[in-house]
Amino acid sequence: MRASGKRVRRVTCDRNILRNGAPESVSRSLIGATFEKPKRWGKWLICATDRPALIFHFGMTGRFVWSGDDPEPHPHDRMTLEFSDGELRYRDQRKFGGVWLAGAHEVGDILGPLGPDALEVTEDEFIARLERRRGSIKAALMNQKVLAGLGNLTVDESLWQARIPPRKKASSLSKRELSAIYRACQKVLRDSSKEGLVPAKRTWLTGARNRSDRRCPRCHSGLERATVSGRTTFWCSRCQ
DNA sequence: GCTCATGTTCCCCT
DNA sequence: CAGGGGAACATGAG
C-alpha cells in the first residue's frame, strides 16, 4: 500500500464507515502514526501502525485511490488518509465494506473465524478442508471459514478452469478433482491480485459472464446461469 | 420503473 | 450442527 513507512498527517472519515467507533476516534488514534507494511488475509487488509491497526474489508465496491494517480476527490471517498506526499482514499460506493480500528489483541475478534488464506494454504490442507464438506463445492469454496479469499467470481472462474460443475457435492470429488481445483484457484487468485480485480480475459469465464452472448470460451456452447449458494453462477454444462 | 451487482450476516427451515 | 433460501444492508448502473 502507498502508505507503508509513512506518517499520517490528517484523517477524514465519514460517519458509519468506521464500524467500531466514532469518526473522531480515527484521528485521535492515527494522526502521527506510521504505517507498517500491510498484510492481507483473505479479503481483509490489516494495516498495522505504531499505534492501533487500521483494518479494511472492501465489500463489493471498495477500493483504494492514491491522489497521485487520480487527484480528483469523489463523493464515495469514505476515508482519506493524508501523508506528506499525497492522500490515500478509501472509496466505496455501496458501503458494504468498512474500516475498523484495532489494538494488537483485537484483530482476531474483528476478522472472526477465518480459514487459511487460499493463496497460502498447501494442497494437502486445501483438500482436507474441502473433502469433508457436505454441501456443494461452490458453497464450500465461498465459505470464508473454510478458506479465506475466494468470492463469487473467483469461485466460478476456478471451477470452470478445473472443469467441475459448481453444484457437485464437495464430498463426492476425487483427490484428482480437488487437486485440479486447487491449481485453478492458485492461478485465478494470483492473476486477480496482480490485476486488482478478476480479469475479464477472453479466454476466461469471467470475460464471458457479462457479455450478452454468454458462450463458453473453450467449447462455445451457451453458458448455464442459476443461483447456487445464494449467488448468480455461470458454468458450462458441456465442459464442467 | 425494474433488475442486478466482485460480500457478509442473520433468521428461518430442513 | 450443517446447509440452503431469502432478506437486509447502500447505492447506483443499465
Digit-coded pLDDT (tens) for A8-19: 999 999 988 999
Nucleotide nearest to A228 (CA to C1'): C4
Residue nearest to nucleotide C14 (CA to C1'): A210
Nucleotide nearest to A16 (CA to C1'): C10
Which ranges of chain A have pLDDT less than 50? none
Residue A112 CB partners (closer than 8 Å, separation 6+): none
Q: Which residues touch strand C (CB under 7 A)?
A: A 75-76, 93-96, 133-136, 139-140, 143, 227-230
State the Cα–Cα distance between residues A68 and A5, nearest whole angstrom. 17
C-alpha cell at A179: 487437486
What was the pLDDT predicted at A1? Answer: 73
Nucleotide nearest to A155 (CA to C1'): B6
What was the pLDDT predicted at A213? Answer: 87
Could you tell me the distance in Å between the CA of residue A99 and the C1' of nucleotide C13? 25
Mean pLDDT, chain A, whole residue set: 95
Residue nearest to nucleotide C8 (CA to C1'): A96
Nucleotide nearest to A152 (CA to C1'): B6
Could you tell me the distance in Å between the CA of residue A219 and the C1' of nucleotide B10? 41
Digit-coded pLDDT (tens) for A90-128: 999 999 999 999 998 999 999 999 999 999 999 999 999
Could you tell me the distance in Å between the CA of residue A207 and the C1' of nucleotide B8? 26
Could you tell me the distance in Å between the CA of residue A79 and the C1' of nucleotide B1? 34
What was the pLDDT predicted at A126? Answer: 96
Could you tell me the distance in Å between the CA of residue A80 and the C1' of nucleotide C1? 43
